[in-house]
């Protein structure tokens, strides 16, 4: 009888510790390639959506959508985003805050008088062609080309580097976005 009680007590202690262990929260912010590719496709889709909304509903509607896109795709809630848009010049080359990013995509901000709204150009197609994808835990980086097809069928190719980090909800956020026109040797 004494052995049965000891065995039962040992079993209950073991079961309780296993149950406690099963409740241990695990946080894993590791990024996978599918998430990165989806984030890039979503960025392209958002750009095309902003362009279409602009054509259909005007600048105010496009600006409202662009603000939502920036808030959902970029990591400005973490702090500065390292954003170097394609068509910018000093002293406004870099857009480390949300207002600068919004001005680049839709224009209309007197603090950024050279911005005419990259997302308002009537883009019809956007394709990403990665040269490489680097993933290490909760950070992912990509480098390659993005091709934009304009309303007349003209294709503009840019060199693009993105870095992504996961937010607390597990969503990828762009924390580095560098874009430039390919170098043309003379």
pTM here?
0.83
What are the phi and psi torsion angles at 100 (to 5°)?
Answer: -65, -40
33-180 fold? Nuclear Transport Factor 2; Chain: A, (3.10.450)
Q: Give the best-scoring range by mean pLDDT among 13-17, 86-90, 124-128.
A: 124-128
- Please write the tens of the pLDDT for every residue from 74-89: 999 999 999 999 988 8
Separation of alpha carbons 52 and 65, rounded Å: 11
Separation of alpha carbons 117 and 184, rounded Å: 24
Kind and range of the H or E element at 98? helix 98-106
Separation of alpha carbons 176 and 186, rounded Å: 30
How do the domains of the chain map onto residue ranges?
A: 33-180
pLDDT, position 6: 60
């Amino acid at each position: 009888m004494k052995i049965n009680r000891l065995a039962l007590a040992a079993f209950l202690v073991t079961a309780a510790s296993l149950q406690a262990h099963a409740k241990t929260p695990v946080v894993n912010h590791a990024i996978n390639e599918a998430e990165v590719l989806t984030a890039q496709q979503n960025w392209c889709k958002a750009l095309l959506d902003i362009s279409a909304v602009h054509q259909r509903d005007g600048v105010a509607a496009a600006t409202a959508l662009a603000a939502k896109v920036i808030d959902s795709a970029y990591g400005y809630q973490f702090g500065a985003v390292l954003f170097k848009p394609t068509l910018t010049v000093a002293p406004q080359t870099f857009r480390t805050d949300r207002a600068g990013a919004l001005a680049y995509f839709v224009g209309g901000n007197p603090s950024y008088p050279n911005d005419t709204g990259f997302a308002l150009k009537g883009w019809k197609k956007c394709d990403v062609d990665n040269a490489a994808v680097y993933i290490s835990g909760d950070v992912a980086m990509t480098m390659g080309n993005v091709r934009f097809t304009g309303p007349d069928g003209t294709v503009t190719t840019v060199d693009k580097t993105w870095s992504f980090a996961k937010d607390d909800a597990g969503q990828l956020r762009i924390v580095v976005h560098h874009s430039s026109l390919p170098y043309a040797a003379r």
